Structure 1
Amino acid sequence: MPFTIVFLADGRVLEWEATEGGAVVTEREDYTPRFYVAPRDRDADNDLTPLRSLYDRHPDVAAAEVTARRPSFRRDDERVLAVDVDHIDRVTALARKARQLAEYPVGDLACFNVDFSREFRYCLETGVDPTPTTELSTLRLGVPLSETAGEAYDELAVDGETVSGPPAAVLTAVQTAIDDHGLDVLVCSTSDIVPTLYEMAETAGFDEFTLSRWPDVGYQQLASRSTYASYGQVGHSPARYNVPGRAIVDESNTYFYGETNLDGILDLVSRSKKPVQETAWASIGNVLTAIQICEAHDRDVLVPWNSWRHERYKTMGTLHDADRGGFIFAPDVGLHDDVHELDFSSLYPNIICTQNVSPDVIRCDCHRHCEDVPGLGYAICDERGYLVDVLQPIIDDRDEIKAAIQREKQRDAPDQERLEELEAVPLLGS
């Protein structure tokens, strides 16, 4: 199974699989990413022939066909237009064209399966499992904090050994280490190392230098650096780069690698179907969303580009009763005896699973007479919700791992290697 996937400018896709004899590349020329378009209103006229003709004439569209899919978990199969695109970079632009058709005969149009990350989309659509079956070789490159981004490095840590000197000496040390390791995963203290090394090689006339396993492409820039605001805090997102044939882990832009290690990331790869590089920079929410998308895909449910299903109308009294939240009692100041602590394991995920709390089964039409939610009169369908199928395996695995850690610690001679392996698994839902 490929551990990294690269998209070339001419539309070809390269898959690199780790084997006992080294990485093996497979070239594909037949991959066409797909998105879907359908009327937003389920009661609208569903004649998609004019829309299909419009896309058929577009030079970036490989094919367009009418097929049956579920636009949401609450809807059955409906006629939708599937649009196959020549290149993955054109998916978003072509989807925007559907949004511009405000006067289209069937009414407002909705797009589906648009904003997936590149490698995740490829695995989802082709059925490829990106979980490596062979151990991946790694190499770490680190620059001192005193080095300025974008300038030539006078000093660089290569696999734990500090190399200093002119650019040619630094580049030679990096190239030698890469050739000796076979290198599947490049762990960088900052992603800026990648373009900086190439600029150093160009300036020094070091034509033989390359981090890539593909002779025609040195590296690709996937995203530019940016700033963002979240919960009143301003954060920085560094640029992201891609090196054909190798997965990059940017230590300045990863949560999971810092909290666990490569084995922990590989555990999430197997759950989310996001390859190593994409999982390394993903957040917990991003990984959980990927797992939900995989569940939706298995059920032939499309993923809306932007959710348009607004919250149902509620009276002021219902809003008051529903939005109760939690309350923490402030204890009396002083020294207390007999203080007890209750720690609920995966509290909210467990509530979701035990009570079947899932958006596709809340206030269902088939159980209107039921009042399953106290004080609100909401019904919860007897049919198992999709969110339960997403979370229950994670909760079960989490409980099993925690129990295994406790069993190992209680042994007379705990196996430290086994403990490190267990503790490296990210406990989603904790």
Structure 2
Amino acid sequence: MVRRVERIEGWLFDAYTEPEGVRVWVLSPDGKHHHFLDPWRPGLKMAGTPSQLGDARIALGKTNATLRWTTGTDLYSGTEIEVLEARVPARAHKGVVEKLKATGLSLYDADIHPVQAYHYERGHFPTARCAFEVDAATGHLLDWQLRDDPWALDYALPALKTMRLALSGSETAGKIDPNHAPRGRLVMGFSGVEHELEGPLEDQLETLALRLREWDPDLILTEWGDSWLMPQLELWSEKYKVPLPLSRDAGRGVVGGGGRSFYTYGRTVYQMGVRYLSGRWHIDARNSFMHKESGLHGLLEVARIARIPVQRAARSTIGTSLTSMQMHRAFLDGVLIPMDKQQAEDFRPATELLIADKGGLVYEPETGWHEEVVEYDFTSMYPTLMVEWNISPETVNCPCCPENKVPEIGHHLCTRRKGLVPKVLAPILTKRAAYKKLAKSISPKAAVFKARADAHKWILVCCFGYLGFKNARFGKIESHECVTACGREVLLRAKEAAENRGFKMLHALVDSLWLQGGPGVDYEALRRAIEKESGVPLATEGVYKWIRFCPSRMEPGSGVPAKYFGALQDGTLKVRGLALRRRDTPDLLKRLQNEMLARLSRADSLAACERLAPALLRLTDAARARLEDGRVDACDLAITMHVSKTPDEYRGNSPQAIAAKTLASRGLSLRRGETLRFVIASAKDPVKEWRVTPLALLEGPLEFDERKYAQLLERAAWEILEGLMPEPAKPEKKRPRRNAPEALLLPLIYADGLSSGSA
């Protein structure tokens, strides 16, 4: 019997494990989709005593695993280790790993996400252009060819059919997690046209099902899809017996799990649950950092170079993407990937630790207003140092190169073998530099190139922190210390180079420096001189017409690093650390500061800034008048915060604690790290429950504390006006206002969750 072969060419669109292998979906250039099964099994490697390996064989006996002896390289010693490799069915892999952990074996390559491991081994990646040969009778993959390169700059992508699902219809619907807020109607969009669904919920579901079949989107882009919309659609579909073809693979439906709270970088963060589709992508714009920061093109770039499925890449941290790139590099080099971090920090005396653990170098800013200032930024300083100095966990304090000392601290670095981390970072640095140039070109794809460069930026920002992260698989605190030591040396060289040429350093912050010169200075010549003497690429961020470094509110005589604002020569504003950059600042205050800075950006000198002070005061007066006249709405006044505890864990009466407890009393309990928005109703009210009103519970007249918001306005204005004029008088005491714009009245809530529509 002659085997009939089906040939498919297109983009590798989706992949997920099934009991017998990996289901692969391909989008062809004509827009059609195809799928087949690749009978691939995930593997793991183990090392241990004969007794432990015997126990492992027993544990694997019932799983239909295939076993073979092989070797792998230990990252730190560079020696080869004999290991036993097991290939197990995908459905059994997780359970097998848990059983083997109990035997005390050293496990390698055991907890890599199975689809990532599949991409590593097969050599392809999400959205890769490939040609496949499939057995037409069985639907199994026979052969394939890669016709793409993850490091290509200008690559083709499929034309995606995108459907949008969101909520609308009220003042706050769509702005707060619908689990804790009034819900508007369901809106779906396709080909630039939006449709608001009306009528009974059953009819809405039937319309949605019809459109899904008719439009057959490749991507469903949602707002709050992971936390509320997709779970609700599943519940309603079951309740009203209306099947929704959300996934192209009807046998899988919607796959996912719940959210989690965790503590990172000094705050508690809540990560929403996930809802994945099969054969179709679902991206929740509210639950995707990368999509928010660099759009779909940036997200797809990360998925390609990190070899992470697109839906997972959308919801993963940057660290997850970086770790995947490191694991792929280790796989290519034959390095065994430990299941858990194995390198603890070396013991050393406190005196040595004090010298080594200084962090980045910061020069306190010279507060006040300044002219003739240039800002230089070292281009990707830390990643560049990691590549140039060969800084990687396994290269620090190697046994072979004690003479290659790191400046200031006692560590040394290997010169005989290239580190894993530099191998990963070098192509990213090269590709980002190329994209930054292309983004400034006249190419019609300049915006696409910028999005991809932005995506690379976040990976490079993350790579330094992951060197010192206690749980990073390829991290070691000593390598982290080497990077900061080299960074301090570079900044000191830059300072000396500038001062030797008559410039004054006003501020320096890790990889940036602000220098003051005079009229007619050749800033490009200065940049080249500093770059040559420091040894790291240096870019001119801009020359300021004027800049202000802000003092500390608590210690007015001291400057605050990274709190400044200024106007470049082309009028572009650069703002850091002001209220408008803070998450918790109400929109009313952000709007005021933006208006004030827009006026100031037209000034060509400090004298011109001072002449604008009366106009800036009038803007402040106008904002205060809006408060007094009640021409504000809840979103103008809302303060946004993260809750660090569950409502019952709060002991004090901070505004967020009161708001969280109020929501809990209405059956809306927030989890640690979730976002809370509220309005200050009466800041000093003796009844603490009346001091703030959560946005989710607004009904009837809007109450707000006019005096408190006036104080906040004055503080926001003074952040900009200070130094241009004497401090204004404090606002007079006002009673809390009661105001009731019609737009703030809540819509009726549909019994099943959505607003009922009118026929």
TM-score with structure 1 length normalisation?
Answer: 0.85
In structure 2, the partner of 1:97 is 99
Aligned equivalent of 1:128 = 124
1:24-423 matches, cutoff 5 A: 24-28=34-38, 30-39=39-48, 50-57=54-61, 59-88=62-91, 90-102=92-104, 109-133=105-129, 134-144=158-168, 146=173, 148-149=178-179, 155-159=185-189, 160-189=194-223, 190-191=225-226, 192-207=228-243, 209-221=244-256, 223-376=257-410, 378-408=412-442, 417-423=444-450
- Deviation per CA, 1:236-260: give whole Å up to 9, x if none: 2222122221121112210111112
The structure-2 alpha-carbon separation of the partners of 1:235 and 1:334, relative to structure 1 and needing over 3 Å to count, comes to closer
Q: Distance in 1 between matches of 2:447 and 2:173?
A: 33
Paired with 2:166 and 2:79, the residues of 1 have a C-alpha distance of: 53
Query: How far is the alpha carbon of 1:146 from its aligned partner?
Result: 3.4
- With over 3 angstroms needed to count, the CA separation of the structure-2 counterparts of 1:421 and 1:333, relative to structure 1, is closer
Task: Tell me if structure 1 keeps the 8 A contact 2:219–2:282.
Answer: yes
Counterparts in 2 of 1:157 and 1:366: CA distance versus 1, 3 Å: same
Q: CA deviation at 1:369?
A: 4.3
User: CA-to-partner distance for each residue in 1:51-103, whole Å, 9 max, x for gaps?
Assistant: 4532342x235223221112325332211121222234x4343223333235x
* 1:48–1:80 CA contact under 8 A, matched in 2: no
Look up the equivalent residue of 1:363 and give its one-letter code: N
Q: Would the aligned equivalents of 2:387 and 2:425 in 1 still touch at CA under 8 Å?
A: yes
Provide Cα deviations, 1:101-157, integer angstroms capped at 9, x if missing partner. Answer: 35xxxxxx3212233234323322343322244333221111235384499987211
Task: Provide the alpha-carbon RMSD of the alignment.
Answer: 2.7
1:289 to partner: Cα distance: 1.1
The secondary structure found in structure 2 opposite 1:424 is helix
Residues 167 and 420 of structure 1: CA distance in aligned 2, closer, same or farther (over 3 Å): same
* Distance 1:232-1:373 versus aligned 2 partners, 3 A rule: closer
> Residues of 2 paired with 1:142 and 1:25: CA distance?
29
Give the conservation status (yes or no) of the 8 Å contact 1:4–1:16: yes
- Native 8 Å contact 1:154 1:165 kept in 2: no
What is the SS of the residue equivalent to 2:247? coil
Q: Could you say if the C-alpha distance between residues 180 and 132 of structure 1 is closer, same or farther in structure 2, counting changes exceeding 3 Å?
A: farther
With over 3 angstroms needed to count, the CA separation of the structure-2 counterparts of 1:53 and 1:282, relative to structure 1, is closer
Change (3 A) 1:329 1:150: closer
Report what 2:726 is aligned to. none
Higher relative contact order, chain-length normalized (CA < 8 Å, sep 6+)? 1
Give the direction of change, closer, same or farther, for the CA distance of 1:66–1:199 in structure 2 (3 Å limit). Answer: same
How far 1:17 sits from its partner (Å)? 0.8
Residue 17 in 1 paired to residue 44 in 2?
A: no
Residue 105 (structure 1) aligns with = none
Residues 20-49 of structure 1: CA distance to partner in whole angstroms, max 9, x if unpaired?
Answer: 341101124x3221122224xxxxx67875
In structure 2, how many angstroms separate the alpha carbons of the residues matched to 1:48 and 1:401?
51
Structure 2 regions of 5+ residues with no counterpart? 1-10, 130-157, 462-759
Aligned-partner Cα distance in 2 for 1:175–1:2: 26
Cα contact 1:373–1:379 (8 A) shared by 2: no
CA distance in 1, matches of 2:411, 2:339: 32
Change (3 A) 1:188 1:117: farther
Call closer, same or farther: CA 1:217–1:337 in 2, change over 3 Å: closer
CA distance in 2, matches of 1:277, 1:384: 33
Distance 1:427 1:32 in 2: 31
Corresponding residue of 2:582: none
Alpha-carbon distance, 1:359 to partner: 1.8
SS in 1 for 2:456: coil
Query: Using the alignment, how far apart are the partners of 2:183 and 2:406 within structure 1?
Result: 64
Residue aligned with 1:335, SS: strand
- Please tell me whether the aligned partners of residues 59 and 100 of structure 2 are also in contact (alpha carbons under 8 angstroms): no
Deviation at 1:217, TM superposition (A): 2.7
CA distance in 1, matches of 2:24, 2:75: 32
For the residues of structure 2 that align with 1:117 and 1:246, how far apart are their CA atoms? Answer: 19
Residue identity in the other structure for 2:164: R
* 8 Å Cα contact 1:119/1:278 also seen in 2: no
Q: Which amino acid in 1 is paired with 2:307?
A: K
For 1:305 and 1:81, locate their aligned partners in 2 and report how far apart those are by CA, in whole Å: 15
Counterpart-to-counterpart distance in 1, 2:361 and 2:53: 56
SS at match of 2:204: helix
List gaps (5 residues or longer) in structure 1: 40-44, 103-108, 409-414
**SS at the partner of 2:70?**
strand
Equivalent residue letter for 1:84:
R
* Partner SS for 2:173: coil
Task: Describe the SS at the equivalent of 1:261.
Answer: helix
The code of the aligned residue for 1:35 comes to L
Matched residues in 2 for 1:172 and 1:391: separation? 49
Deviates more, 1:116-125 or 1:245-254: 116-125
Counterpart for residue 135 of structure 2: none
Determine if contact 1:141/1:156 at 8 Å carries over to the other structure.
yes
- After superposing the two structures, state which structure 1 stretch, 194-203 or 354-363, moved more: 194-203
How many Å apart are 1:176 and its aligned residue?
Answer: 3.2
Indicate if the aligned counterparts of 1:352 and 1:388 stay in contact, CA closer than 8 A: yes
> 2:63, 2:89 within 8 Å by CA — same for their partners in 1?
yes
- Letter of the 2:126 counterpart: P
2:328 match: secondary structure = helix
**1: distance between equivalents of 2:434 and 2:124?**
27
- 2:63 and 2:180 map into 1 onto residues whose CA distance is 36
- Cross-structure match for 1:106: none
- Other structure's SS at 2:16 match: strand
**Cα drift, residue 327 of structure 1:** 3.6
Q: Distance in 1 between matches of 2:71 and 2:28?
A: 39
